[in-house]
Amino acid sequence: MRRQSRPPRILIAGLGNLLLMDDGVGIHAVRELQKAPPTGAMVAEVGTAVLDALHLLEWAEKILAIDALQAGGTPGTVYAFDTGDVEKGGIQASLHELNFLTALNFLKPRAQPEIVVFGVEPERIDYGLDLTPAVAGALPELTAAARDQVRRWRGVR
């Protein structure tokens, strides 16, 4: 008798500060995804309170974190990398990603989850609730990429 393996526990975490315009892109992205959540994934607004989300990080086997990322590109550019790129110094992470990676150290000892980060180049980080047009225009690409990542992790084409 063959045992069927269960699908991985997948978390999509929206990081950032919703009160600082483009810095809130991760929250805006997960709110779009929550309208029709990807099959097999939990979608959560984490914001800047990463330690409050430790229970979710502990639950997940695969984590997709979405945040603003200043890497010098054109505003609205979508970047994808894994945490190894940050740890090796290949990517300049935002403050939230560093807090996110630091929070992983608080997890109970176990196999570390696989983590992919999608970052969006911000145009403006200043007080305000709305994304700039360039970053808002990246949301369809960003949410489609998130859905594709979940499908890859689930082994679905």
Cβ atoms within 10 Å of 63's Cβ, excluding its own: 22
The answer to whether position 74 is within a domain reads yes
Global confidence as pTM: 0.86
pLDDT, tens only, 38-87: 999 999 999 988 888 888 988 999 999 999 998 899 999 999 988 666 55
Provide the residue range defining the domain that includes 101: 12-154
Residues of the chain above pLDDT 70, percent: 79
Cβ atoms within 10 Å of 89's Cβ, excluding its own: 8
Residue 18 · residue 59 · CB < 8 Å: no
Is residue 91's pLDDT more than 60?
Answer: no
149: domain CATH number? 3.40.50.1450
The answer to whether position 135 is within a domain reads yes
The answer to whether position 4 is within a domain reads no
Task: Quote the number of domains for the chain.
Answer: 1
The answer to whether position 1 is within a domain reads no
